[in-house]
Amino acid sequence: MEVVILGGSRPIGKLAADAIEKLLLRKPDAVLGLATGSSPLPVYEELAGRHAAGLDFSRASGFALDEYVGLPDGHPEQYRNVIRREFTDRINIDPANVHSPDGSAADIPAACDAYEAAIAAAGGVDLQLLGVGTDGHIGFNEPGSSFASRTRIKSLIEQTRKDNARFFTSLADVPHHVITQGLGTIMDARHVILIATGAQKAQAVRDFVEGPVAAICPASVLQFHPHATVLVDEAAASALKLADFYRHTYDNKPSWQGL
Ligand code: F6R
């Protein structure tokens, strides 16, 4: 796991966008794993700018990490709409190639199986963007999630509903159920880039980067990922024991290595 401590959201967005741009230049039909929430917004902003300057997404495809269950179609907080609004409508990716779990499916288990099959048919995710919840969740794999889990329905912990209430009119409007890629699904991505900013993430970052690998902290499974990059600002890094070592390592990294 590589930990990079940067001065704020802007440099984090640029560095993650550099990795995505490099991937697209090497593999124009790359498969991107897309997170929602606040953490990836600087990356989407940066990529929209790079698209305006010529970066081509026409052969790329995208898979959202998760989706609320039961929000009516067209609801602004349905993650399929958030992804469009914040990212894919701002670039030239083919809308037919942007996929989300179906949170209004009549047969949820079948929809989850179909989502796994669609990711596999696309050749797997090349680069997965992630945020982390204050309780250490990735996707909506709340504490206790199986490390082997695949896409499935999950219940949200009350803290996550409270954290996400800022996007809704009231806490009561935040759904209790979601469909999320499993931890096993996320671990299959060839490269994962997790972004965490702000002091409210410091404990979760400390727990998953330097704590034991345990289901109580789902993001800790990334310690087993062969290519996991963690981009954090100073506030989110503030509880890390080895912060100076991560800074020293990144500052002295050979330039050919990239992320
Ligand atoms: C969103 C997702 C969640 C968020 C996490 C952090 O698709 O899967 O795991 O990444 O809840 O949310 P923010 O970035 O809003 O702090």
In a domain, 249, yes or no: no
Ligand 1 atom at minimal distance to the Cα of residue 64? 7
Domain span at 6? 2-196
In a domain, 56, yes or no: yes
- How many structural domains compose the chain? 1
Burial of 90 (0-12, 13-18, 19+ CB in 10 A): middle
- Cα 72 from chain centroid (whole Å): 23
Instruction: Using the Cα atoms of residue 37, residue 43, residue 46 and residue 47 in order, give the sign of their dihedral.
Output: negative
In the block, tokens 């080895």 appear at 242
The gap between the terminal CA atoms of the chain, to the nearest Å, is 11
Is it the case that residue 1 has pLDDT exceeding 90? yes
Separation CA 24–CA 51 (nearest Å): 12
**pLDDT (mean) for 101-117:** 97
Instruction: Using the Cα atoms of residue 41, residue 4, residue 66 and residue 34 in order, give the sign of their dihedral.
Output: positive
Ligand 1 atom at minimal distance to the Cα of residue 66? 7
Instruction: Give the pLDDT band (50/70/90) at residue 92.
Output: very high
CATH number, domain containing residue 114: 3.40.50.1360
Report the catalytic residues. Answer: 66, 135, 137, 142
In a domain, 15, yes or no: yes
Q: For 201-215, how does the pLDDT look when each residue is reduced to its tens digit (9 = 90+)?
A: 999 999 999 999 999
Separation CA 228–CA 1 (nearest Å): 5
Amino acid letter for position 170: S
Q: For 218-246, how does the pLDDT look when each residue is reduced to its tens digit (9 = 90+)?
A: 999 999 999 999 999 999 999 999 999 99
Separation CA 122–CA 113 (nearest Å): 14
pTM over the 0.95 mark: yes
Instruction: Give the pLDDT band (50/70/90) at residue 258.
Output: confident
Ligand 1 center from residue 63 Cα (angstroms): 15
Q: Which of 84, 132, 174, 179 to mutate to test the pocket of ligand 1 (most atoms within 8 A of CB)?
A: 132
In a domain, 236, yes or no: no
Ligand 1 center from residue 39 Cα (angstroms): 7
